[in-house]
Structure 1
Amino acid sequence: MFIDTHLHLIDRKRLSYPWLSDVLALDQDWTYKDYARTARRIGIDAALHMEVDVAPDQIDAETAFVRDLMGQPDSLIVGAISSARPESAEFAEWLDGVDRAAVRGVRRVLHVVPDELSTAPQFRESIRALGAADLPFDLCVLARQIGIATELVDSAPNTQFVLDHCGVPDIAGGAFDDWASAVTKIAQRPNVSAKISGITAYTGDDWSAETLRPYVEHVILAFGWDRVVWGSDSPVCTLQSSLDQWVAITHALMAGCSEGERAKLYSGNARRIWKL
């Protein structure tokens, strides 16, 4: 069974998503009901909701939305990875008041802001504060930014980091060597884990499980079985596949692994990192 560590849900009546109009394929409601119906059929028995870059003044409202879903009978939702603004002088106050019953981690998408944002003293102080608060930080960066992410990791050695989407390799473009080198370097930091999540979104139209295999296997080799987790990145994964296809691909790629190795990737490591 899987713990989905990277589920996006979209409710346009309740929350505002400024970026959504630029991605027409995703510009619709993506409901918990629809997700749960498929998830239960394909072996997902828990999920962390990943922030969806709502308008900044709605960050806490998104957490409330997730908390409501957690309260539904037999809900699959076990927590939220919240959006935040670590660059803000108000971050410490926000962190003090965060809903710890729901929030299990924090993310600030770094590929939509200037590279230098994460190098600012305020940003790095905030990320160090996450370590003191025992909240992991998801690193959402492009492949070219993994080096910048590594510098951020080095500035906060007591904070747990999770590299999203295998570091977003350009699979469609066939890029591998530079990405692989950067992944190897960041994996040398013991406080970083990697998320094998929805990388079908970075392929072209003509792909198969074997297209993805070198990228997934390199991440596992670099990080080891104790520092990898699984996520769907639903609905972003639907840009080139479907949720059930991504689960099937995962099983195909892990067919030669031991039961213990699969258990760590599918759920065990996630339980430890986010204390589920």
Structure 2
Amino acid sequence: MLFDSHLHVVDRERLNYPWLEGAGALNRDSLYPDYAREAHRCGITDVLHMEVDVAPQDIEAETAYIQTLSRRPGSLIRGAIASCRPEEDGFADYLERVLANPFVKGFRRVLHVMPDDLSEDPLFRENLRRLAGSRLTFDLCVLPHQIAKAIALIDLNPDVQFVLDHCGVPAVKDGVSDLWKSGIAEIARRPNVVVKISGVVAYADPDTWTVETLRPFVEHSIASFGWDRVIWGSDWPVCTLGGGLATWVAATHALTSGCGDDERARLYQRNAKRFWNV
């Protein structure tokens, strides 16, 4: 059974997504019932929703919408990772509102499509320190050349729990790079970081990738972080760019077929439940 730590729901009738206009095949609705139908078939039992970089004025509305979905009978949704803007003055007040809502398990501020120096903004760093000692995690979605900046942010906040999304967003179609490989090994030395084994199918060549294409990225990430600091995620609907949810689940099982039952259980669900207290 799988705990999916990375579901995106896109509903253009309810929320605004400025980035979708240039998103090609992802510029469409990706609704929870469509995901849930396939997730049930794939053995997914629990889900966290990941923010979808909605327009700033819709950030809290997105959380409210996902919380409504979680209340439907039989819903798989157990919580949400909410969007945030640590570089803005209103973050402290927003944080107080979020802390009052146990449905929100953490934050993410998209960084891989932002200027490299955003995380170096003094207000950004000051506001991130406010998460220290709280129950809220902070997801890092960064490109390989940005891992050094992520490490600097982590080192400034040793009491904040970070999550590295998508194995560090490697360019799978181009093969393993020294930059990515060394970056993963270095960021994994920080004990307050876990890594999501997620998203990699979207970065592979959609027509030619196989399990062996993905293996070095998944295995290096797990070897670097260890079995107690790895978490699985689908990155639906982005994973549809590389074959879809069922394809990624099947690849995950193939990639871990030689592992022990306890190791698979930690990756598949146990670590996530412990990490977010779900």
TM-score, normalised relative to structure 1: 0.98
The code of the aligned residue for 1:222 comes to S
Whether the 8 Å CA contact 1:66–1:102 is kept in 2: the answer is no
Q: What does residue 134 of structure 2 align with?
A: 133
The percentage of aligned residue pairs carrying the same residue is 57
- The count of corresponding residues between Structure 1 and Structure 2 is 276
Q: What does residue 165 of structure 2 align with?
A: 164
Measured against aligned partners, the alpha-carbon deviations of 1:114-173 in whole angstroms (never above 9, x if no partner) come to 111101221112112112322000000011111110110001000000000000111111
How far apart are residue 36 of structure 1 and its match? 0.6
CA distance in 2, matches of 1:52, 1:28: 13
CA distance in 2, matches of 1:33, 1:235: 12
Q: What does residue 233 of structure 2 align with?
A: 231
The code of the aligned residue for 1:246 comes to W
Query: Which has the higher mean CA deviation after the structures are superposed, 119-128 or 159-168?
Result: 119-128
CA distance in 1, matches of 2:262, 2:224: 18
Q: 1:254 aligns with which of 224, 238, 256?
A: 256
Measured against aligned partners, the alpha-carbon deviations of 1:45-69 in whole angstroms (never above 9, x if no partner) come to 0100000000001000000011101
Give the 3-state SS of the residue equivalent to 1:68 in structure 2. Answer: helix
Give the 3-state SS of the residue equivalent to 1:81 in structure 2. Answer: strand
Runs (4+) off by over 3 Å: none
CA distance in 2, matches of 1:35, 1:104: 21
How far apart are residue 274 of structure 1 and its match? 1.2
Matches within 5 A, 1:18-33: 18-33=18-33
Measured against aligned partners, the alpha-carbon deviations of 1:58-103 in whole angstroms (never above 9, x if no partner) come to 0000000111011111110000100000111110110001152321
CA distance in 2, matches of 1:100, 1:147: 33
CA distance in 1, matches of 2:103, 2:135: 14
- Residue segments in structure 2 that go unaligned for 5+ positions in a row: none
Q: What does residue 185 of structure 1 align with?
A: 186
CA distance in 1, matches of 2:135, 2:125: 15
TM-score, normalised relative to structure 2: 0.97
- Residue segments in structure 1 that go unaligned for 5+ positions in a row: none
Q: What does residue 11 of structure 2 align with?
A: 11
CA distance in 2, matches of 1:252, 1:143: 26
- Establish whether residue 42 from structure 1 lines up as the match of residue 42 from structure 2: yes
CA distance in 1, matches of 2:117, 2:261: 42
The code of the aligned residue for 1:61 comes to A
CA distance in 2, matches of 1:11, 1:228: 30
Q: What does residue 151 of structure 1 align with?
A: 152
